[in-house]
Structure 1
Amino acid sequence: MAIKITGSGCYIPTETVTNLDFARHQFLNEDGTPFPYSNEVVAEKFLEITGIQERRYASNDLLTSDIATIAAQRAIADAGIDPETLDYIIFAHNFGNVKKGAIQTDILPSLATRVKYDLKIKNPKCVAYDILFGCPGWVEGVIQAYAFIKAGMAKKCLVIGAETLSRVVDIHDRDSMIYSDGAGATIIEETKESGGILAHETATFAHDEAYYLYFGNSFNKDHDPDVRYIKMYGRKIYEFALSNVPKAMAACLEKSGLDISQVKKVLIHQANEKMDEAIIHRFFKLYKQSPPEGVMPMSIHKLGNSSVATVPTLFDLLVKGQIENQELHPGDIVIFASVGAGMNINAIIYQL
C-alpha cells in the first residue's frame, strides 16, 4: 500500500506579461528616490539573475478561488474519482481572493469552501480548509493529507496551491517583476501500488527570519500608507535558502533510506533560477557530487514565481510531458522542496 498522487491538474493564466511590459513602470528605491538605472538595464539584470523572461497574470474576471477550481476539476478528472468521495480539500494560498484594483483580501468564506461549493460537493464530511504557509504551502498540504490518510482519518484528499500575486505587488518595486499567478492541484489517496510518499521534512525559522517576507508600504511615498504590498529582503532570503534548503532536503532523503544516486528529479519552488541552481549544487555537494544534467526541471522562464502554485504546476506539466526534454517514469524518485514566507522550508521524497 502507498499514499500517492493519483491525479494532477493546473491552470496557467492567459495574460502573458513580458519583461519589456515593465518598461513604463517607475521603479523606486525603498526611500522613494528614483532608481539609478534605466528600466532596460533593470530588465536585463533581472533576466540574468532570475531567468524569468515572462510571467502569467490572471484575467480580471477570475479570482484565486476560480483558477483553483479549474485546476481542481482537472486533477479530479485525471484521477478519475467522484468528488463526493473526497474527505478533505486543503487549499494553500497566502492572500485570499483579491479583486483587480481592490485593497482588501477576501477569505470569508475560506477559499477551500468556495472550491467545494464550485465543485458542487454535497457531502458535509468533505472537510474544506485553507492553510497559510508561504510558498511551501502546497508541499505542506500534501504532508497534511498524507498524515490524515496514514492515521486512518481520510482516504482521498484534494490539495490545491493557487495565488494571484499580481494583485498584491507594488509596481514601483522592481521585485514585482518576479511574481505571477497560477494554480495547481493534486489528488492524494491510498493505493495498492508501491512507492508514493516515502519521507517528509518541515521546519519554520522565525527567530531572526520571520519578516524576510512581509506586507509593507509602496516605495512611492505618495501612495496611501494604509495600502500594503508584498515585500521581501531578497539577499537575506537567498542566503537563508542556500544555507538551509539543501540541509532539509538531505535530512528528508536520510529519513527515506534512499541514496542520492536514486534521485531522478528535484522539483523545487520556482522562485529564482540562480537561487534554485545554487541550492541544487549545494545539495549534491553534501554528497560530494555534482547535479546530474536535467535533474531540476524549470518552468520559471515562462511562468514566473506563482508561490504555492509553482511546484504542483511543475509536477503536472512534467507528468503530462509538457516540459521540453524532461520526463518521468514509474518508479522514479522525486524530491519536492520549497522555501518561503515564515520562513518555512519543507521537502518530500516521492516515488512515482
Structure 2
Amino acid sequence: MSMYSRIAATGSALPKTRISNAELATRLASIGVETNDEWIRTRTGIEARRFADPTLGETTTELAAAAAKEAMERARFEPDSIDLIVVATTTPDMVFPSTAAHVQSMLGCTGCAAFDVQAVCAGFIYALNAADAMLRAGPYRRALVVGSETMSRVIDFNDRSTCVLFGDGAGAVALEASDAPGILAARMYADGRYDEKVLGLTACLSNGKIAGSPFINMDGRQVFKLAVDGLTGSAEEVARLAGVSPSEVKLFVPHQANLRIMTMVAKKLGIPDEAMVKTVSEHGNTSAASVPLALDAAVKANRVKEGDLVLLQAVGAGMAWGSAILKWRANV
C-alpha cells in the first residue's frame, strides 16, 4: 500500500480551429445575436476558443485519447503498465460504452479498469480524487486521468449569455503510486439544491427521441457567487488538511471559466496574481478539460519546479466543486 500518488506527466489536445471573439461575433450576427470582442472580454477574460470538427477526428474520445497518449509517453509509461483510466466528461460521444473504454482500446491498455466520471466542470477534480484514492489503496499503481469535452455541441448560439463562454479540448495527467508526498489532500463537494435551474442541460434519450433541452442553461449571477464561495472554502480546507497555507502555493490552477472569478478567489486566498495560470483567454471554458489543459500549459511553459506546491480546483453544475493540493514531483 502506498501513502501517496503523484502526477508523473501531463498532456493535452486542442482542436485545430481557433475562433476569436470577433469571428464568433460575426457568426452570431448572421443569426441576429449581437455581441462584440469588448463585451465578451471585459466580462469573462475570454478572447478566443477552439471548436472541434468531427470530420477531422476531433471528437470527445479522440481528443481524450490524444491527451492521454501524450501524458503517458511523457511519463515514459508503457501501455501495458496502465492499471486504471478515468475520463471526466459531460459530452461523451455516445451513452455507452464509456469514453474511458474507447480510450483504453485506442491506447492499447487492454484489461485495465476504465470508467467515466460525470461532474461537469468539476469532473477532473472528481476523477483525480477517485484515481488518487484507488492508487493509495492499491493494487493499482499507474493511472491516466483525463478531462475531455466538446462543449460546442451543446451551446445554444441564440443565447448570448452562454454561447460566448465555452470551448473544446482535452487535458490529461499520468498518475503513479508513490511513497513520497505527491497529492497531499483533495476534497470534493456537491449541493444538489442548486439544480438545473442554476446550471444544467436537461436533455435525455427517451423512446428514441431527445426529451428536455439539448442546450446549456445558466443563471450567471448565482453561479458566480457559488463559484467564489465554494472554491475559496475548498482551497482553505485542502490547505489545512495538507498542513500548508494557501499563500505558499507556487502554482494556482483554477477552473478556467471566468477571469473575474479566478482573480477574486486568488485574492481571497492570498495567492499572488503571478502564481495563477490563465488559459481562459485562449481556451474559454472547456468544462472538465479546463484544469488539466491549464496545468499542461503551465508545465510546458516551465512554470513549475520540483517541490512546488500546486493548487488545482474547479466548480460546475450540481453544484459540484472541489480542490486538490499537491507537491510537484514529475518525471518531466
On whether the aligned pair clears a TM of 0.5, the verdict is yes
How high is the sequence identity, in percent, across the aligned residues?
29
Q: Give the equivalent residue in structure 2 for 1:15.
A: 17
Q: Give the equivalent residue in structure 2 for 1:276.
A: 262
CA distance, structure 2, for counterparts of residue 338 and residue 303 of structure 1: 15
Equivalent residue in structure 1 for 2:54, among 60, 68, 76: 60
CA distance, structure 1, for counterparts of residue 181 and residue 49 of structure 2: 34
Give the greater-gyration-radius structure (CA): 1
Q: Give the equivalent residue in structure 1 for 2:321.
A: 345
Render the CA deviation track for 1:74-116: whole Å, top value 9, x for unaligned: 011011011111111101000211xxxxxxxx13211111111
Q: Give the equivalent residue in structure 1 for 2:231.
A: 245
- Going from structure 1 to structure 2, the CA distance change for 1:211 and 1:151 (only over 3 Å counts) comes to farther
Render the CA deviation track for 1:101-158: whole Å, top value 9, x for unaligned: xxxxx13211111111111233x2x011111011111111111111001111311111
Render the CA deviation track for 1:146-178: whole Å, top value 9, x for unaligned: 100111131111111000001110010111111
CA distance, structure 2, for counterparts of residue 252 and residue 75 of structure 1: 25
Render the CA deviation track for 1:319-341: whole Å, top value 9, x for unaligned: 111xxxx7111110011011001
Q: Give the equivalent residue in structure 2 for 1:234.
A: 220
SS class of match (1:56): strand
- Going from structure 1 to structure 2, the CA distance change for 1:231 and 1:27 (only over 3 Å counts) comes to farther
Contact persistence 2:99–2:115 (CA under 8 A) = yes
1:261, CA displacement in angstroms? 3.6
Aligned-partner residue type, residue 323 of structure 2: A
Q: Give the equivalent residue in structure 2 for 1:128.
A: 114
SS class of match (1:158): strand
SS class of match (1:278): helix
SS class of match (1:70): helix
Contact persistence 1:72–1:186 (CA under 8 A) = yes
- 5+ residue gaps, structure 1: 29-33, 98-105, 218-223, 285-290
Q: Does 1:313 align with 2:289?
A: no
- Going from structure 1 to structure 2, the CA distance change for 1:276 and 1:261 (only over 3 Å counts) comes to closer
Greater helix proportion? 2
CA distance, structure 1, for counterparts of residue 29 and residue 273 of structure 2: 39
Render the CA deviation track for 1:248-272: whole Å, top value 9, x for unaligned: 1101100111123421121000001
Q: Give the equivalent residue in structure 1 for 2:303.
A: 327
Contact persistence 1:211–1:342 (CA under 8 A) = no
Render the CA deviation track for 1:270-329: whole Å, top value 9, x for unaligned: 001111111211223xxxxxx3240211001111111111111111111111xxxx7111
- Over 3 Å off, 4+ runs: 208-211, 224-227
Provide the TM-score with structure 2 as the length reference. 0.90
SS class of match (2:216): strand
Q: Give the equivalent residue in structure 1 for 2:107.
A: 119
- 5+ residue gaps, structure 2: 204-209
Cα RMSD (Å) of the superposition? 2.0
Q: Give the equivalent residue in structure 1 for 2:67.
A: 71
CA distance, structure 2, for counterparts of residue 208 and residue 167 of structure 1: 24
- Going from structure 1 to structure 2, the CA distance change for 1:296 and 1:256 (only over 3 Å counts) comes to same
CA distance, structure 2, for counterparts of residue 44 and residue 260 of structure 1: 33
Aligned-partner residue type, residue 111 of structure 1: T
Provide the TM-score with structure 1 as the length reference. 0.85
1:60, CA displacement in angstroms? 2.6
SS class of match (2:120): coil
The aligned runs of 1:193-208 (5 Å cut-off) are 194-208=180-194
SS class of match (1:183): strand
Q: Give the equivalent residue in structure 1 for 2:177.
A: 190
Aligned-partner residue type, residue 26 of structure 2: A
Aligned-partner residue type, residue 25 of structure 1: L
Q: Does 1:85 align with 2:54?
A: no
Equivalent residue in structure 2 for 1:44, among 9, 26, 38: 38
Aligned-partner residue type, residue 317 of structure 2: A
Q: Give the equivalent residue in structure 2 for 1:25.
A: 28
Contact persistence 2:90–2:120 (CA under 8 A) = yes
CA distance, structure 1, for counterparts of residue 216 and residue 41 of structure 2: 20
